[in-house]
Structure 1
C-alpha cells in the first residue's frame, strides 16, 4: 500500500490532480485529517486536492522511513512546496508523518506536521509575531 501511495503522490501536480489518481488509493469513504482540515469522502477530498494543487507552484515529497503491519502503516516524509504568497515564492520544507489504515484501499489518512512552520511562519506580519512569541516562550 505504501509504495502505491508514494507513487500517486509523486505523480500528483496541478495538471494530474483531476486524473482520478486519488481514487486509485483512497476508499470512497476516506477520512483525511491534517492539522488544518478534516475531510470525509473521496469527492470532498478530490475537491480539496484540486484547490490545493491549483494554488501551489510546486510540491514534492521525499520519503524517509516507513512501516506497515496488518492494516496500518506509518510514513515519515519531507514535503517541499512553493506557494506564490508564502516566503516570497521560495521553497518551504516541512517534515511530517502520516498514519494510515486500509483494507483494499486507504480508509483513514492522518497527517502530523507543524502548521505554523508550513504556513503561518511565512506570512510577514504573522511570522514576525509568532517568532517573537516563540522566543518569549523559550
Structure 2
C-alpha cells in the first residue's frame, strides 16, 4: 500500500518502537503533542515518552499493518491492524486488534494523535472473568 511519507514515517516509528528505542520520538512528535487513546489523554512529548516507556516495558512485540490511509493537508487518518504479544494479556498469546489513528501535523511533526480501538478486543476479552462478563453484556445487547 502506497501511503503519504508522513503516514509511512508514523508506521515505521511504531513498528521499530521498543522500550529501549524511544529516541526517534523527538523527531516525529511535536513538543506540545496531544495524544488520546481509549485509556489516556496525554499532553506533551515528554509525557508521551513516559507513557510509551511504560507501555512497552514488558511488551514482547507489536506490529502495525496499514489498512487504509487518507491525508489532506496537515490532517491524516489511518486504519490499521495491530498484532502484539504481552505476557499479562492472554498468557502472551498473540492478540490482533483493529483500530485507527487520526493525526495532525504542525511544522512537520505530529501535534495531535488520537487512537480509536476496542479496549475489550485488546485487553478485557483476554481476562477470564471480565471476558465472561463482557460476553454476557454483548449477548444481552444483541437480544434487544
Q: TM-score, normalised by structure 2?
A: 0.90
Task: Determine the structure 2 residue equivalent to 1:106.
Answer: 110
Alignment partner of 2:123 out of 99, 119, 124: 119
Give, in angstroms, the shift of residue 132 of structure 1: 1.4
Provide, for residues 48-90 of structure 1, a one-character-per-residue CA deviation record: whole Å limited to 9, x for no partner.
0000001211111111110111110000100111111111210
Provide, for residues 9-31 of structure 1, a one-character-per-residue CA deviation record: whole Å limited to 9, x for no partner.
121123313xx111111000000
Provide, for residues 94-117 of structure 1, a one-character-per-residue CA deviation record: whole Å limited to 9, x for no partner.
000100011221100000110111
Task: Determine the structure 2 residue equivalent to 1:3.
Answer: 8
RMSD, matched Cα = 1.0
CA distance in 2, matches of 1:106, 1:15: 21
CA distance in 2, matches of 1:133, 1:68: 37
Structure 1 runs not aligned, ≥5 long: none
Structure 2 runs not aligned, ≥5 long: 1-5
Indicate the larger mover: 41-50 or 57-66: 57-66
Kindly indicate whether residue 100 of structure 2 is the aligned counterpart of residue 97 of structure 1.
yes
Give, in angstroms, the shift of residue 7 of structure 1: 1.4
Number of aligned pairs? 136
CA distance in 1, matches of 2:26, 2:55: 17
Kindly indicate whether residue 24 of structure 2 is the aligned counterpart of residue 15 of structure 1.
no
Q: TM-score, normalised by structure 1?
A: 0.94
CA distance in 2, matches of 1:9, 1:88: 23
